[in-house]
A and B are shown apart, each in its own frame.
Chain A
Amino acid sequence: MASFWGPHTDNPEKTLFILGALVTGALFIFALTFVPRRARKPLIAVVTFIGGLYFSLEFLIAPRSSAEPFLLSKGAFGKKVFELLYAGLDPDQNFLSPYMQGLTNAWQVIAGFTFALGLTNLVHIHGKNILQARKNWGFSVFFFIGVIVMAVIGFFQRFGAGQKSPVWQGLWRIATDGWLFSLDAAMFSLIAFFIISAAYRAFRIRSVEATIMMGAAFLVMLGQVPVGIWLTSWIQPEWGFLYNLRLENISQWILWKPNAAAQRGIEFGIAVGALAMGLRIWLSLERGSYFEKEV
């Protein structure tokens, strides 16, 4: 049975490691607060650059299976390089791959801190709403009720005796199936009402482009659903070319041909943009609201 410390309660050494990591991490963060303001941006830039460099090189450098025949064919020097960089590695690994695991774990820890940061911000904002009795402060009360109730039930059903307790498991079912999922599904389903109202009010054939778009939309929509298939199901496969006029076949052609081509163009553009954006962030060249504020 998993405890708060995970599956290693019977291993005191592991628990000590966890405690040690926790204390070291806290001390490290505390030490970071003493970094002078002028040095904070360069520090972030250096860490970002090293992180980006590692992941790029790990992806690009040849794995052992490709590098081995090449290096071994280059005589004694090649053999030396191979032994230095690739000896003992799996065929699909290069000399950077063994560190991937540790970095991914570190990433999880950092992600954990971001959740804590998000929660702190929410508590700060909603706490202020209540204390200052701002407009709609009642919603903020519900925020606290939601967070506390879900956290308490989630914690006790997950750890220790709660895992086998029908009370905690039942409460968890009510909190998730009964409240969270129902509220989420209900909120998302409202989109259907917005869509039907917006499509009715806004979709007017005012130009050739709008006409083409509406025609394509109707054909694809109908060709995807059973009722559309039923509408032209009287067209038989043995009718030759006419069989192409079934709604599902027209819909498939639009999706597989013009749509795929357009998507490819869009994605190509996005990929080039993402590459440029990635380079700017990696080299800390990006400017704007999130990058120029004092840290």
Chain B
Amino acid sequence: MSFQIKSPGEAYDVIIVGSGAGGGMASKILSEAGFSVAVVEAGGDFDPAKEEDRTQLRPPWESPRRGASTRNRPFGDFDAAIGGWDIDGEPYTRTEGTEFDWFRSRMVGGRTNHWGRISLRFGPNDFKRKSIDGLGDNWPIGYEDIKPYYDKVDQLIGVFGSKEGILNEPDGYFLPPPKPRLHELFIKKGADKMNVPVIPSRLSILTKPINNDRGACFFCNQCNRACQAYADFSSGTCLVKPAMKKGKVDLYTHAMVRKVTTDEKGLATGVSYISKVDMKEYKLKSRVVVLGASACESARIMLNSKSSNHPDGLGNGSGMVGRYLHDSTGSDRMGFIPDLLGRKKYNEDGVGGMHVYTPWWLDNSKLNFARGYHIEYWGGMSMPSYGFGFGMDTIRKYITDEFGKPSQNGGYGAGLKKDIRSYFGTMVGMSGRGESIPRYENYCEIDNNTVDKYGIPVLKFNYNWTDQEINQAKHMQDTFEEVLTNSGAVLMGEKAGPDSKYGLHAPGRIIHEVGTTRMGDNPNTSVLNSNCQAHECKNLFVVDGGPFVSQADKNPTWTILALAWRTSDFIVGEMKKKNI
């Protein structure tokens, strides 16, 4: 490891704000190019290989709440990600009549400590949606521009999958996929009857090692707890820490960036941050500033970076910073497979996520919504935690004894105990995750009336779904019922109807929000150029989900990584040419 000792005021080559997927990739590529890098992270250090950070392989009783969620771990007490939708002292607001929930992870690696490792490439159509359906805008780049970087990301980080030859679901450099689980074969049986494809999933989990620094998966099904063998992708374990080992990288933790500082010419000179440890403000200087703080946080930093050259916020002469905010759609359904009652017990954990999934399979020109969705599946004998055994007052009637006689709802005693035992591993569920239409009208802005506990003005969200997303959610619900019924499952709960927008989650709930600093060739309608460089500030770049022109019916992480690599290569070239 090398150390850089600097006197106060001496500049780094690059400051990267945020240590998630985008910031992590930038830290690796830029430090490997020989630049001195500061990574500024708002949360604490985190390394799942350290015993004191390990939540993996712990049974529920090691948590006093048996793994139930808490305010700062909404996905359960063992989830690695610290933060959530409601962080103490870090509020956000919404315009009345609109909705948006903002998920943040305050720690090294950011939200890559939580995500489902679903690693899908955007396809050729995903960059040119306006040409297909006339809605939103095309990206200024196409699949061919980013394909070499997807190829490199596949090999650097690792993703399992199968080559399928589907045009808009491009194949990559895949590791071997795991065989399906039992409930996944039930789903496939049901989906086959209606020509819904079910193929091996594509997750960034190592079913084989790809280098000597990370181990192979040992199949505990707990990727969301962060892997002590580094066998799944998180930015801290796979990018930031390796970059720190090899290059000139200083990591600043508990450092909440307030603004990007600029000089009299309007160029970025560094960042100003509040230390959460002593609540004092510090400055760092650099030749280049790279924002990877998450789509909304990077927009917030730019909007808060006002100066005489940038009166509406840094790089916001177009007024586009914060606009076109969009998240994936989401709707879910679950069922219960009577054929699995009293099933044989074996270790069914597998990898931390589904072994099969459904990519979008229909032609939108024949449907009443313009964009597609993929389907994620879950179920089986996963580890019981808080909530297991709930609901016997409504679902026990579906449990039958060896003679096929159904039980009564509710009850108590040996019969109840036996029924819960028999029911373990019979549940199956599915979640649609779809593409929404990016809209100028959906945005975040600075709320001038509210500051967080660091004194930094907070974001105010303005976001509403349209019929496009609601019609898509209805299609999901209809499809889910058909797949479940065809699989031999009994549908659980009531079908979500129009009053709940067909179960459509509030924007922000799927945690795929992108688009707030979108790229484009026209500086009047976009914030960044096609190299993710600010139109109005040539040494400012954004490497998170902000540059996305449209979110596909895919998870965004793999595209964030590929774009961040491409942007970093561009920065290296420009710095070497002394253009910045």
The reply to whether chain A is a binding partner of chain B is no
Interface of A toward B, CB cutoff 8 Å: none
Chain B residues close to A by CB (< 8 Å): none
